[in-house]
Amino acid sequence: MHIKKIRLSSLEQLQMPKFIRGTITAIKNNDVKKLNLEFPLKILEEHQLKISTLDVPVGSHPMTKHTDFWHKQRVDLASSIMAQAKAIALANLPNTKAEMDIVLRVVNMHFKNFRKNNRMVIEVLIDIFVKHINRNPIVKNAFAKIGLMLYVDELQLANETYIRLDIKRQSSMGRPQNRDANKKIAKEAQAALRSFFEYVEVANRTYPELDYKPLMKELNTLIAEFTNLIKTRSTYKKKKAQKATKEKDFAASATELKTEDNLQNPTSENKKLKA
C-alpha cells in the first residue's frame, strides 16, 4: 500500500490549513505512540500553528453571506433533484422505466447522504455529477426525458457561482504586505507534509508488524478529496480564462469591423468635416 500523490503546491493558501488539520486528525485517530509518530506529529502541529495565520473564520468576511446563499442554493437543488427522481420512480410510469433506472442510479451514486458532507466535498460531488451527465449522451437523454435537465443546469450554475465567489472571497483575504511571508509559511508546511508522507511510506516498509495501513487509508481519503477539489477549481479557472479570451477576441473583431466600415462608409458628419 502507498500514499497517493498530491500536488500540494496546487492547493490555494487558504486550503492548506484545512489539509494540515485533516492530516493531524488522521494521525490522532491512530495509535501515535505505537506507530512512533510523536515527533512527526509535533512537527506538523508546529506548522499548523504557523499556517493557522492564513486561515480566516468563515463568518468574518463581507462576502460570506453571498457564498452561504449559493451554497444553500446548490444543496437545495441537489436535494430537489433527488426528491423528484424518487417521486417519479414511485409513479412507475412504463414508458420511462429504463430512463428512470439510469437517473436513480446516477443520483444515488452522487447524492446519497449528501447534506452530511462539508462544502469542499459537496463542490466536488456536484462537479462530478454534472460532468457525468454531460459526457454520457444516454444518461443526459434519460435526465431530459424525465424532465430534470433544467434542474441539472441550474445546479451547475449554482455550483459555479459558489466557486467563483469563494475564490474571490479567498483572494481578497490575503493581505498584500504579508504575501511573501504567507508563501513562505505555506511552502514550509508543504515540505513538512511531504517529509511526513515519506516517513510513513518508509516506516510501513520497515515495520510491517506495526500496521500503518489504517493511517495510510485515512490519508488517501483526505488526499483524494483535496485532489478532486484542485481539479474542480482548475477546470473552473480554465473555463473562465477561455471565456475571457473569446470575449476579448470578439470585442477586437467587432472593433476592426467597425473601423473598416467607417473607412468604407464615412458618415455625413465626416463628409461635412472634409468639405
Q: Residue 129: pLDDT above 90? A: yes
| Cβ neighbourhood burial of 8 (10 Å; 0-12, 13-18, 19+) | buried
> For 44-48, what is the mean pLDDT?
90
- Mapped onto helix, strand or coil, the DSSP state of residue 83 is helix
Q: How far apart are CA 226 and CA 115, in angstroms?
A: 18
pLDDT tens digit sequence for 168-187 = 877 766 554 466 777 788 88
More confident residue, 269 or 18: 18
Rounded (10°) angle between helices 213-264 and 16-28: 170
The HSE-up count of residue 215 (CA atoms within 13 Å, CB side) is 25
Residue 164: alpha-carbon gap to chain centroid = 11
Q: Residue 83: pLDDT above 80? A: yes
pLDDT tens digit sequence for 14-38 = 678 889 989 999 999 999 999 999 9
Q: How far apart are CA 194 and CA 28, in angstroms?
A: 18
- Residue 26's pLDDT is 93
Q: How far apart are CA 243 and CA 135, in angstroms?
A: 20
Rounded (10°) angle between helices 38-51 and 179-206: 160
- Residue 275's pLDDT is 47
Q: How far apart are CA 142 and CA 257, in angstroms?
A: 44
- Residue 273's pLDDT is 45
- Residue 269's pLDDT is 46
The HSE-up count of residue 112 (CA atoms within 13 Å, CB side) is 5
Q: How far apart are CA 57 and CA 122, in angstroms?
A: 19
Q: Residue 50: pLDDT above 90? A: no
Q: Which of 118-127, 146-155, 191-200 has the lowest average pLDDT? A: 118-127
- Residue 14's pLDDT is 67
More confident residue, 49 or 220: 220
> For 132-151, what is the mean pLDDT?
93
Q: How far apart are CA 39 and CA 36, in angstroms?
A: 8
Q: How far apart are CA 49 and CA 209, in angstroms?
A: 33
